[in-house]
Amino acid sequence: MRSSTQVLLKAAVYSTSGQVRQYIPSLVPAAMLMTYISPTSLHKIGKVLTDWWKSDKTSVENVTEYILMKENSSETVTDRHNTMKEKVRDVLSIDVNLSEPLGTGCDVTHFDIITSSLCLEAAAQTLDQYRSNAANVSSLLKSGGHLILNGVLGQSWYRVGEAKFACVSLTREDIESIFVSCGFDIVSMETVMSQEGGYYSDFQGYFIMHANKN
């Protein structure tokens, strides 16, 4: 039985050229914890992430430098990247629409911390589906565990390349109500309204939430 904290990092990745960049901000501060990376269930993205993990390459050094500076750390970028790769235990496929999001056969079924960025709203087209997906993700978290959720508000569509997809439009009240109904206590939630939506999305703001599972 491992005693170390185990973390599931989950992020939506919309292009194979930027996939590692999406994970670095979460991986760098999580480098001292046992970490599992879980992209969307796209095999090509999973392969690219695995190739990065198994290689001796670094990525987005400027982001790592910024985080090390904020941590007042004396580590070099190379040292932190090496630590990150040592702590990653696996790259897992996930489908939040399933009651068993990681499928069967995964050797780790519950995590101490789950972080998710720009995933849940992109995987749902109705509030009921979002609530179901939130419950599915909750099933992966240990009692007393932490959920760090980042997402967008008021978004009804987004693009991946030239393809346009519909998704559920959320308010702060929707998110808080749904996660409370899934057995979470909301520790903190910050929202920022924005007019940055354009060709790739009609989002009206974004949020970051910290919640504890009862």
State residue 192's pLDDT score: 94
* pLDDT > 70? residue 5: no
pLDDT band (50, 70, 90) for residue 9: low
Nearest to 33 by CA among 135, 134, 145: 145
3-state helix vs strand vs coil in the chain, percent to 5: 30, 30, 35
State residue 138's pLDDT score: 95
* pLDDT > 50? residue 23: no
Q: Give the C-alpha separation, 115 to 38, whole Å.
A: 10
* pLDDT > 70? residue 156: yes
Element (H, E) at 52: helix 43-54
Report residue 130: phi and psi, to 5°.
Answer: -60, -45
Question: Mean pLDDT throughout 166-175?
Answer: 96
* pLDDT > 60? residue 81: yes
pLDDT band (50, 70, 90) for residue 1: very low
pLDDT band (50, 70, 90) for residue 171: very high
191, β-bridge pairs: 207
Question: Which one-letter DSSP state was computed for residue 100?
Answer: S
Mean pLDDT of the chain, nearest integer: 81
CA 11 to chain centre: 4
Q: What is the pTM of this model?
A: 0.78
To the nearest whole percent, how much of the chain has pLDDT over 90?
40
CB-based contacts of 42, cutoff 8 Å, min separation 6: 13
